[in-house]
Chains A and B, each alone.
Chain A
Amino acid sequence: MSHFKAHSVLPGFNLALGFTLLYLSLIVLIPLSALFFKTATLGWGGFWTVVMGERVLASLRVTFFTSFVAAIINAFFGLIVAWVLVRYRFPGKRIVDALVDLPFALPTAVAGITLAMLYAPNGWVGQYFAAHDIKVAYTPLGIVVALTFIGLPFVVRTVQPVLADVESEVEEAAASLGAGRWDVFRRVIFPAIYPALLTGFALAFARAIGEYGSVIFIAGNMPYISEIAPLLIVAKLEQYDYAGATAIAVAMLLISFALLLFINALQWWSSRRGTR
């Protein structure tokens, strides 16, 4: 024990850690491990057959592509929102600031049916797109709308504190040396907030990949076109194809994990470039 834990006068370590580990194992670790044991029963060949199925591949493509587009939209507009909330004053700013967290608080099913209604061809927003022959709801574009809503707070909330911490002296120095405002943003401010922006992007992206409730109402769920991978998991479960459902779930986890590793590597690489 003495090697495992540093000495402390405070009591309750064994009880607190014991309970933590027990609860963590029962609720999270053992259930999650079932995922991998179930996939193992399929074997490599079986796993590969499920994941390489045309419909599964199409759903994975739809899921990752729409999630990526939504995360890009959120990175761009989220940066503007964070900038406006940190740097400018305008009436109602505190309410706007609090409202940014709405997608965290609003149940996804509510967001789903509301967005589906708004972006339907006869909906409040959808009719303007319909006038230009663009269908939003019941197409992949609708999925992007739902995922943009779901991921909206992530970039704003990760960039906001970092942007607030950028020293105005550094900006003044750059300006006094003759840099224009755009140059100051590009060379001084952007490099400082870039890691936070990337983190926010990764969080929004990861959240979008797993999202289900807000998407299924607006997606139309057409196989090969607007069917997301989580929906296919549910469909397989309803046919009692546990192994197939699990294989898709594991494939999703592996791809997201690889993407997050890649983004982490990108962050590490850019921070090294920054300090050179």
Chain B
Amino acid sequence: MSAQATQRKISTRESPGVTLVLVTVALIYLVLFLGLPLFAVFYEALSKGWTLYWKALQEPDAWSAIKLTFIAAGIAVPANLVFGVAAAWAIAKFEFKGRSLLITLIDLPFAVSPVVSGLVYVLLFGAQGWFGPWLQAHDIKLIFAVPGIVLATVFVTFPFIARELIPLMQSQGKEEEEAAVSLGASGWQTFWRVTLPNIKWGLLYGVILCNARAMGEFGAVSVVSGHVRGMTNTLPLHVEILYNEYNFVAAFAVASLLALLALVTLLVKALVEWQAKSSGDPLH
């Protein structure tokens, strides 16, 4: 891309003045909307010094929020990983009726508001939901409890890995797998030794994005959580509680952890893209 930029003929370039204006406008826009907020999170978190920052992070409620965030992501990401691989195997390696409908249905959670994603589980499992009376009779609590949070997280991160793997595996075709099978390899052997090495970068890419969303989800989790401090609060919900209590240093301290997660996500994502490109299997 950059080589192309240098080769561009003078007739297809803008005047230096126009170029300068465009670059300036773009950078001001990005600094104002991306750079400044990112900087502000860390600035506010540390505005009263490191001691208060550490203290905010060592609160038992903060710890239980960290734990619950890891539990939710720790279940949602592997579950959606297994699903993504299965869906991509069926859709990319076989031809059957209704394939494109299936792809559309897999994308559905992206089309729904996070709040609605939480709402649907309340309708099913809430006190006045379809299964509410039955669950109450058996003393099972899903909504306003950890299982509801996990379910909502699984829902909002549902398409991430599948939609990364489906186009990738479609573009790779199925000749390699067919060769392996015709040489006597079993299905699992074929998958582990042929398919998986081919899709590893796409898989990692999907897992990173899925994880970032799983740990950062707010709206859906907020609806099903019930906001019990130290019990059903994930990190983003904990940020909200602290902020609404005007405990800004603590709110931004916890928020800085999530911002750090975002930065690590972007870094790993860029590395994976670069790795995939240099190993000759571009992701897109």
8 Å CB interface, B165-186 against A: 174, 177-178, 181-182, 186
Say whether B40 faces chain A, with CB atoms less than 8 Å apart.
yes
Chain A residues contacting B41 (CB-CB under 8 Å) are 110, 114
CB distance from A189 to the nearest CB of B (A): 10
Q: What is the CA–CA distance of A115 and B243 in the complex, to the nearest angstrom?
A: 13
Q: Are B94 and A6 in contact (CB under 8 A)?
A: yes
Q: Are A106 and B258 in contact (CB under 8 A)?
A: yes
Partner of B105, one of A19, A29, A96: A29
Say whether A148 faces chain B, with CB atoms less than 8 Å apart.
yes
CB distance from A221 to the nearest CB of B (A): 12
Say whether B115 faces chain A, with CB atoms less than 8 Å apart.
yes
Q: Which residue of B lies closest to A14 (CB)?
A: B90
Given contacts A88-B5, A109-B240, A168-B9, contact A12 B105 (CB under 8 A): no
Partner of B96, one of A17, A27, A98: A17
Chain A residues contacting B240 (CB-CB under 8 Å) are 109, 113, 217
Say whether B51 faces chain A, with CB atoms less than 8 Å apart.
no
Chain A residues contacting B122 (CB-CB under 8 Å) are 237, 242
Say whether B140 faces chain A, with CB atoms less than 8 Å apart.
no
Q: Which residue of B lies closest to A95 (CB)?
A: B270
Given contacts A114-B41, A164-B1, A230-B115, contact A83 B22 (CB under 8 A): yes
Q: Are B1 and A16 in contact (CB under 8 A)?
A: no
CB distance from B231 to the nearest CB of A (A): 18
Q: Which residue of A lies closest to B9 (CB)?
A: A172
Q: What is the CA–CA distance of A144 and B34 in the complex, to the nearest angstrom?
A: 15
Q: Give the A-B pair count, Cβ closer than 8 A.
A: 299
Say whether B218 faces chain A, with CB atoms less than 8 Å apart.
yes
8 Å CB interface, B21-66 against A: 22-23, 25-27, 29-30, 32-38, 40-41, 44
Q: What is the CA–CA distance of A101 and B33 in the complex, to the nearest angstrom?
A: 12
Partner of B87, one of A20, A88, A181: A20
CB distance from A167 to the nearest CB of B (A): 10
Stretch at the interface among A49-57, A133-141, A245-253, A267-275: A245-253
Q: Are B34 and A252 in contact (CB under 8 A)?
A: no
Chain B residues contacting A6 (CB-CB under 8 Å) are 94-96
Say whether B86 faces chain A, with CB atoms less than 8 Å apart.
yes
Q: What is the CA–CA distance of A256 and B112 in the complex, to the nearest angstrom?
A: 10
Q: What is the CA–CA distance of A104 and B280 in the complex, to the nearest angstrom?
A: 26
8 Å CB interface, B86-132 against A: 86-87, 89-91, 93-97, 102, 105-106, 108-109, 111-116, 119-124, 126-130
Q: Are A212 and B113 in contact (CB under 8 A)?
A: yes
CB distance from B180 to the nearest CB of A (A): 9
Chain A residues with a Cβ closer than 8 Å to the other chain, count = 92
Q: Are B262 and A9 in contact (CB under 8 A)?
A: no
Contact with B along A166-185 (1 / 0, CB 8 A): 00100110011000010010
Chain A residues contacting B154 (CB-CB under 8 Å) are 27
Chain B residues with a Cβ closer than 8 Å to the other chain, count = 109
CB distance from A103 to the nearest CB of B (A): 8
8 Å CB interface, B225-274 against A: 235-237, 239-240, 243, 248, 251-252, 255, 258-259, 261-263, 265-267, 269-270
Q: What is the CA–CA distance of A118 and B34 in the complex, to the nearest angstrom?
A: 12
Chain A residues contacting B158 (CB-CB under 8 Å) are 27-28
Say whether A10 faces chain B, with CB atoms less than 8 Å apart.
yes
Given contacts A28-B105, A164-B1, contact A13 B90 (CB under 8 A): yes
Cross-chain pairs A/B with CB under 8 angstroms, 10 sampled: A10-B181, A20-B87, A86-B5, A88-B19, A102-B266, A125-B36, A181-B13, A211-B113, A213-B114, A213-B219
Ordered nearest first, which 6 A-B pairs have the shortest CB separation?
A: A210-B113, A107-B216, A213-B218, A11-B187, A212-B219, A175-B11
Q: Please list the residues of chain B having a beta carbon within 8 angstroms of any beta carbon in chain A.
A: 1-2, 4-9, 11-15, 18-19, 22-23, 25-27, 29-30, 32-38, 40-41, 44, 82-83, 86-87, 89-91, 93-97, 102, 105-106, 108-109, 111-116, 119-124, 126-130, 151, 154-155, 158, 174, 177-178, 181-182, 186-187, 190-191, 209, 212, 215-219, 222-223, 235-237, 239-240, 243, 248, 251-252, 255, 258-259, 261-263, 265-267, 269-270, 284
* Apart from A19-B83, A23-B86, A99-B30, 13 more pairs, CB < 8 Å: A8-B95, A32-B112, A32-B120, A88-B23, A99-B266, A101-B269, A110-B216, A148-B33, A210-B114, A246-B119, A249-B116, A249-B119, A252-B116
